[in-house]
Structure 1
Amino acid sequence: MLLDKILESLFPSGHTVLVACGLIFGRGALADGDSIAVIGVDGRIPIGVDEAALLSGHVLDVIKSGGNEPILILIDSDSQRMSKRDELLGLNEFLAHLAKCLILANKLGHRTIGLLYGHTAAGAFIATALATQTLLALPGAEPAVMDLPSMSRVTKLSIEVLQEKAKSTPVFAPGLDNLAQTGAVAITLDPDRSLAHQLTSVLSQPVEREDSRDKLGKERNGRPKAADIAKRVYELARASV
């Protein structure tokens, strides 16, 4: 689904969203008359230090404006920009800063919603979509925390072994269905229905104080152990205080 069509369906009452050099900025009108800040990445561009700094600045502008305006992050990116310049300038810190800005916005009352409509991977995925409170996706989205060749280099397991594990264990496999099963993607939207109505439905749901993705992964049998382990670690930490 192309960005223009997505924006048209999300904001039938109008929007001021623009795309410049692959970055998305603006605002959209919600059904109740309120506005939602919109940022993101289009055209599968990689996120480097410059992109991360600009996106972070827009999130901070929303925070500085006060109120509780929600933030929608639209994502169709490559991975992080793997250039010598970006690495020397501390790309990891810029990506971490972007993620922390989104988390701060959420802590201060700005609901953060991610919407995957294209590709995303690695650090760019973690610093944008996975840093939001609720992650949505459209069919055809192609998320990957790490592709199998990269995972093979890190784990020292062969591609064949990882491919076999991916058949039964979603954490080893990229793709929308697997990310949904692990709980990372909360809802896959229906492109044949009004995206505005579906977004309104998500925004109207009570805000959970704690990250519940591990519990969702347990319910969907994508991460059957994560929630229990996290709970046990929390209990042990509390007991030692």
Structure 2
Amino acid sequence: MTPDEILASLFPQGHDVVVDDEGLVSGSGPLENGARTEVIGIAHRAALGVDGAVKLARKVLAVIEAGHTGPLLVLVDSDSQRMSKRDEMLGLSEYLAHLSKCLILADLRGIATIGLLYGHTAAGAFIATALSTRVLVALPGADPEVMDLPSMSRVTKLSIDVLKEKAKSTPVFAPGLDNLAQTGAVLESWDPNRSLAAQLSELLQRQPTAGDHRDALGKARGGRPKAADIALRVQSLAASDV
């Protein structure tokens, strides 16, 4: 689906969401129950750099400061982070972390943050947007990857052939929507032939409380069997030292 088709299905009563020349998404639209959904994101497979991260973070903070009580929807079709010398010299990783923390703060303030992945995304841009929301849903054809195999090969010092073999049995080594769903990163895929507004409303009615529950989901789905237990153990050890 194109951004226009997605927005029309999400907000059949109309909306004021726009995509600027840099591929940044902003605006809002009404829910079926009359509440309003704030919308930010990245479109047209734009790379996320320092400037974009600051602009998106500013919009998230404005939503929090305004006392918004409805959901915050993050639409994602991006490249990876912008790999330019300027962005790296300015400390791009800190800007991406700032955006991520702003989305987490919104969640802690009771704003239901929902990522909607409809295209590509990768690496730092993926982590700072879609993976920093309370839950992430996707449309068929979405193409996420935390790290592509050539990059993973350089980091792990394992050959691409070895990584491809590991990816067959271990989803954390493999890109793609199905693998990310198995690890718990993606909650569910939506049906593009149904009203996206209805599916958003259904999700909001059964959405879990604030906090990240993807480790437990990954354990239940068999794609990330140890993360939830390790997290609980760390929490237990931290609490025992208080």
Distance, in Å, in 1 between the alignment partners of 2:223 and 2:79 is 25
Counterpart position of 1:17: 17
Deviation per residue, 1:108-161 (Å, 9 max, x gap): 111100000000000000000000001010000000000000000000000000
Superposition pairs for residues 154-165 of structure 1, below 5 Å?
A: 154-165=155-166
Deviation per residue, 1:5-62 (Å, 9 max, x gap): 1111111111111110211111011000111000111000100001001111111111
Counterpart position of 2:193: 192
Distance, in Å, in 1 between the alignment partners of 2:189 and 2:174 is 18
Distance change >3 Å, CA 3–CA 121, structure 1 → 2: same
**Superposition deviation, residue 84 in structure 1:** 0.4
- Aligned partner of 1:63: which letter? I
Check conservation: 1:24, 1:40, Cα contact below 8 A: yes
Report the secondary structure of 1:136's partner residue. Answer: strand
Query: Identity, % of aligned pairs?
Result: 66
- Does residue 4 of the first structure (1) align with residue 8 of the second (2)? no
- Aligned partner of 1:20: which letter? D
Check conservation: 1:17, 1:38, Cα contact below 8 A: yes
- Aligned partner of 2:87: which letter? D
- Does residue 150 of the first structure (1) align with residue 151 of the second (2)? yes
Check conservation: 2:112, 2:210, Cα contact below 8 A: no
Deviation per residue, 1:185-206 (Å, 9 max, x gap): 0011111111110000111124
Distance, in Å, in 2 between the alignment partners of 1:17 and 1:23 is 10
Check conservation: 2:16, 2:28, Cα contact below 8 A: yes
Per mean C-alpha deviation after superposition, the further-off stretch among 192-201 and 62-71 is 62-71
Distance, in Å, in 2 between the alignment partners of 1:210 and 1:73 is 17
Check conservation: 1:171, 1:223, Cα contact below 8 A: yes
Report the TM-score, using the length of structure 2 for normalisation.
0.97
Check conservation: 1:38, 1:72, Cα contact below 8 A: yes
Check conservation: 1:11, 1:196, Cα contact below 8 A: yes
Distance change >3 Å, CA 110–CA 209, structure 1 → 2: closer
Distance, in Å, in 2 between the alignment partners of 1:164 and 1:139 is 25
Counterpart position of 1:35: 36
Superposition pairs for residues 57-206 of structure 1, below 5 Å?
A: 57-206=58-207
Check conservation: 1:62, 1:69, Cα contact below 8 A: no
Distance, in Å, in 2 between the alignment partners of 1:214 and 1:162 is 22
Distance, in Å, in 2 between the alignment partners of 1:186 and 1:79 is 21
5+ residue gaps, structure 1, are none
Q: After the TM superposition, which parts of structure 1 deviate over 6 Å for at least 4 consecutive aligned residues?
A: none
- Does residue 216 of the first structure (1) align with residue 213 of the second (2)? no
Report the secondary structure of 1:224's partner residue. Answer: coil
Report the TM-score, using the length of structure 1 for normalisation.
0.97
**Superposition deviation, residue 238 in structure 1:** 2.3
Distance, in Å, in 2 between the alignment partners of 1:96 and 1:65 is 22
**Superposition deviation, residue 231 in structure 1:** 1.6
Distance, in Å, in 1 between the alignment partners of 2:213 and 2:54 is 28
- Does residue 238 of the first structure (1) align with residue 239 of the second (2)? yes
Distance, in Å, in 1 between the alignment partners of 2:241 and 2:34 is 49
| Count of aligned pairs between the two proteins | 241
Per mean C-alpha deviation after superposition, the further-off stretch among 212-221 and 60-69 is 60-69
- Aligned partner of 1:174: which letter? P
